[in-house]
Amino acid sequence: MVLPVQEPSADQACPSILPAKKMAGIGIHFSSLPGPYGIGDIGDRALKFVDTLASMGLSVWQFLPTGPTAYGDSPYQPLSAFAGNEMLIGIEPLLRQGLLLKTEAEVLTRLPVQSVDYGLLIPRKQKVLARVAERFHATASSLLKTEYEDFLALNDAAWLDDYAIYRILKTMHGEKPWPEWGKPFVRREKDALEKVKNDNYQAIQHVKIIQFLFTNQWRTLKQYAGEAGVQLFGDIPIYIALDSADAWAHPEILLIDEAGKPSHVAGVPPDYFSTDGQLWGNPLYDWRFHEANGYRWWIERVRHASNHADLVRVDHFRGFESYWAVEFGAGTARVGEWLPGPGDGLFQAMHSALGSLPIVAEDLGVITPAVNRLRLQYRIPGMKVLQFETADPEFNPDDIDSNCVCYTGTHDNDTTVGWFHGSDQDNRPRQEILDTQRNVLQLTGGTAETIHRDMIRLAFDCPARLAIAPMQDFLGLGSEARLNIPGTTMNNWRWRLREEQLTPALRESVARMTGKSSRV
């Protein structure tokens, strides 16, 4: 049955995933958490941060995609849509489980603590985790081994076996993208893959063990957060990377030839973030194939994400209605064409298989009526970002729909302080910055010195069922703490919170703000 397309009122549109009681949350990725091992993690660092959220009266923790990263360290270009990023595995749980010696972890304590140095971190942590995997069967408790066998039974055929073989082949080929591998491996010839399995049996098992340890720690985190009244808010990119286990194992889901070469790639035309548009370079989906098999891959992807988080933001929601296709090899995303996406067919299939969809639509930028109709048809919350909205002198925060998540800014924005004052990376004309400053001060009734708190208060006081601010805004940090600059690939995703920044005064201040806005 096709659900009727209608545009209900704000109250009628409130989906089940955003309860009637207002909530407030914080945005920070696991890599940005404080800790002594070179990067934040999903182990003890994350459990401690759940306690921090609870002490602030915050009930939602939003983070970035958690897949294994590759070139540029971007969470939005993961090596798998289903695997976890081994760099985020916590060290302390491994020490307690007897899988790692303290002396073996010391190499990580010599890494920077104020930012993530991926060039130093990745090879060191890979060696540490390799030792863990080597001794797993000899050292792990019987309970942990049983849980590992259950993990294999549930995931091996679905995605894990392909991912493990892909990682081994990628290492064998000097970490080159799979279209540059030997032809037998690019084409997944049976005899060639069987030989790799036989010759690298132990290494393949080690990849699987490390994925199990990620999942095991994640399960602990999700249970701990639930008991503390904190919802986990995940994120999945709409597109997958060409250099990914998914593209290699299932090229039929993409518009690529037998050698792995796409005819067109994904992006968006020029917008607020970039005058050249954003050329993501991801291969495009073969939506005809997906429609023919009932969108099974997408159903499993969303099911997997929703099993790991209470809410899931879907990046670039517009691409489901229409998407920007850029010819492969183009230098920018300026020239392209809008092509029709799967639209209602995909969401009807997911709705039938999964019931109420636990997703939030990233519907920023130029959104057409057709995109809005698709979102409203399935009662999916959208997003409002105050850094964009307050540039309009006619903006009234009371007009924000309750069926949305309101942000001061996102991971792609400058911090609120940096945005308010303007920075070297800001592509806005100076007069636009000055006009926005005037608008914002009139809206908040605050000052330039208190702009970060005033913008958070503006978000918390608006009608949106969920309001979120990045950790950097709670701290009042400037552009030096910006996490990502869209359209660039260098020095992003590195910022880290320091433990001493989480002062009692900060916790009390946020708790008062949350209480006054009735979002506790």
- In a 10 Å sphere around its CB, with 0-12 CB exposed, 13-18 middle and 19+ buried, how is residue 113 labelled? middle
Per-residue confidence band for 437, with pLDDT thresholds at 50, 70 and 90: very high
Query: In this predicted model, what pLDDT tens digit does every residue of 48-96 receive, in sequence order?
Result: 999 999 999 999 999 999 999 988 899 999 999 999 999 999 999 999 9
Residue 166's nearest CA partner among 88, 250, 265 is: 250
Per-residue confidence band for 272, with pLDDT thresholds at 50, 70 and 90: low
Verify whether residue 426 is a known catalytic residue: no
478: Cβ contacts below 8 Å, ≥ 6 apart? 415, 417, 418, 421, 423
Per-residue confidence band for 273, with pLDDT thresholds at 50, 70 and 90: low
Verify whether residue 412 is a known catalytic residue: yes
346-352 mean pLDDT: 96
Query: In this predicted model, what pLDDT tens digit does every residue of 442-481 receive, in sequence order?
Result: 999 999 999 999 999 999 999 999 999 999 999 999 999 9
**Strand order across the 359-361 sheet:** 359-361, 311-314, 231-236, 60-62, 23-27, 466-470, 404-407, 382-385
Provide the pLDDT for residue 486.
84
Query: In this predicted model, what pLDDT tens digit does every residue of 476-509 receive, in sequence order?
Result: 999 999 999 987 888 999 999 999 999 999 999 9
372-400 mean pLDDT: 95
Catalytic residue among 246, 362, 401, 454: 362
Provide the pLDDT for residue 12.
40
308-314 mean pLDDT: 97
Contact between 59 and 230 (Cβ < 8 Å): yes
pTM given for the model: 0.94
Verify whether residue 473 is a known catalytic residue: no
Provide the pLDDT for residue 264.
95
Catalytic residue among 412, 414, 461, 473: 412
301: Cβ contacts below 8 Å, ≥ 6 apart? 81, 82, 236
What spatial distance separates the first Cα and last Cα of the chain, rounded to whole Å?
A: 39
